[in-house]
Amino acid sequence: MSDRKIIKVRDVMKDHFIEMEGLMTVQDAIRALQKEDAHTLIIKKRHDDDEYGIVVLGDIAKKVLAKDRSPSRVNLYEIMTKPVMSVSPHMDIRYCARLFDQFGLASAPVQEHGKVIGVVTYQEIVLHGLIEELD
C-beta separation of 42 from 110 below 8 A? no
Q: Give percent of the chain above pLDDT 90.
A: 81
Bridge partners (DSSP) listed for residue 8? 92
Average pLDDT (86-105) is: 96
Kindly list the domain boundaries of the chain, sorted by start residue: 9-134
43: alpha, beta or left, given left = phi > 0 and alpha = psi -120 to 50? Answer: beta
Using the CB atoms, write b or e for 105-126: b if 16+ within 10 Å.
bebbbbbeeeebebbbbeebbe
Q: Is the pTM of this model over 0.75?
A: yes
Q: Specify the CATH number for 9-134; select among 3.30.1490.190, 3.40.50.1000, 3.55.30.10, 3.10.580.10.
A: 3.10.580.10
**pLDDT tens for each residue of 57-81:** 999 999 999 999 999 999 999 999 9
C-beta separation of 7 from 90 below 8 A? no
